[in-house]
Amino acid sequence: MKFKFQKPLTGIEIDGTFVKMVQVIKEKKNWRLIYWKSIPLPSDVLELSYKEENIMDPILFRDTIQEVLKPTKTRVSRIGLSLPNEIIKVTIHRFNGLKESEAKIEQLIRWKEKSSLPFPIEKAKVSTSTFTHKDTGERSYLTAIAFSDVITDYEMHFKRLKINPESIHPSGINQINFYISRLGSSGITAFLGLFEKYFTFFVFEDSQLIFFRGKRRSFSFVHFLQEIDMTIELFKRDYPNKEIERLSFGSQVGLSQDLEQELKEYTYMDFTVLDENEIIMTDSGLDEHGKKIDIAYYASAIGAAQSLAG
């Protein structure tokens, strides 16, 4: 009998204050988390910007990446990378009945985005995920747009360490990729993803993405709740005849009892805090210091690693 060795897939998330690294293995229909580590990123290393290069201290940046990868048992040459939400614009573009090539769709998106970007459209890096709606034939494109100089700067420093960032997405997209298998495949489901300084809001109808908003999170709890209310109102304005049936929640910064209680106040929809332990298994569930791992904290890094599986 031959045993096939499966090389771990590596994901790294950079969120401005920490570098998080995970390694995962695909086992039949399940995933297993075999390694995880988080290292603080000194405050003067990155200056997050949508239109200017972010890395202020290249040597310290590369040293931190090397440090987070140091204990891994296998040589890492390729990674899935999550970059801060704040430096990549994510939006939805919809087209009715178009059957154009990917190149043509990207050209149309560039034309629509031209006046909204703070840099020349020729310097934009565009990636899309496609969703086709069964009833209308409308095609939605979840679109990530970044300044190519910003992305290239990150890529260059990884490549200097002989590491290839094969898949690059904002943390919000990698987070939803981690949770999406537990959102349900029927009805209208919303997902609220929470980060320290950002939140995302996705709405799916029968597994088809119909709405997205990403927004900087207010430091005020009251203002944050108001922003969630406004986001839900925006959905209702765009889709006046559709009602959200379920609201699922994932947070990389924990969930306070106050926030959980406030979200439960949306009585017209079911509220679910997703259980990450149902999505991915761990070898021991304990970190190197004997503490229980908070899988949600690593959700975007895990999603980045999973993206390498194709």
Residue 105 in any domain: the answer is yes
Higher pLDDT, residue 33 or 263: 33
Whole-angstrom CA distances from 221 to 12, 112, 252 are: 29, 35, 16
Between 21-35, 180-194, 211-225, 271-285, the lowest mean confidence (pLDDT) is in 271-285
Q: Residue 60: which CATH number? A: 3.30.420.40
Cβ-based neighbour number of residue 254 at 10 Å:
10
Backbone angles phi, psi at 120, to 5 degrees: -60, 140
> What pLDDT is attached to residue 1?
40
pLDDT at 5 over 80: no
pLDDT band at 235 (very low <50, low <70, confident <90, very high): very high
Residue 35: closest CA among 288, 274, 253, 276: 288
Q: Strands of the chain (E only): list them.
A: 9-14, 18-27, 30-40, 78-83, 89-96, 124-132, 138-147, 164-170, 188-194, 198-205, 208-216, 246-251, 270-273, 281-282
The domain containing residue 179 runs over which residues?
9-87+147-309
Residue 74 identity? T
**What is the band of 286 on the pLDDT scale with cuts at 50, 70, 90?**
low
- What is the structure's pLDDT at 137? 65
Contacts of 220 (CB under 8 A, 6+ apart): none
Residue among 127, 136, 142 at smallest CA distance from 98: 136
Q: What is the pLDDT of residue 6?
A: 72
Residues 203-208 have a mean pLDDT of 90
Do 305 and 196 reside in the same domain of the chain?
yes
Placement of tokens 């290249």 in the chain: 58
Averaged over 204-208, what is the pLDDT?
Answer: 89
Given 146, 161, 183, the domain boundary residue is: 146
User: Which tens digits make up the pLDDT trace of 110-151?
Assistant: 999 999 999 999 999 999 887 766 665 678 889 999 999 999
pLDDT digits (tens, 9 = 90+) for 245-272: 999 999 999 877 788 888 888 878 899 8
H or E segment and range at residue 248: strand 246-251
Instruction: Examine residue 1 and state whether it is found in any structural domain, yes or no.
Output: no
Same domain, 139 and 196: no
Question: Does 177 share its domain with 198?
Answer: yes
CB 84 within 8 A of CB 48: yes
Within this chain, do residues 184 and 127 fall inside the same structural domain, yes or no? Answer: no
Q: Two tokens at 173?
A: 């997209």
Query: So what's the pLDDT on residue 129?
Result: 84
Same domain? For 223 and 285 the reply is: yes
- Within this chain, do residues 63 and 81 fall inside the same structural domain, yes or no? yes
Q: How many domains does the chain have?
A: 2
Residue 198 placed within a domain: yes
Residue 208 shares a structural domain with residue 94? no
Q: Has residue 3 been placed in a domain? A: no
Average pLDDT, the chain: 89
Same domain, 194 and 256: yes
Q: Is 243 contained in some domain? A: yes
**Do 279 and 208 have their domain in common?**
yes
Looking at the structure, do residues 214 and 290 belong to the same domain, yes or no? yes
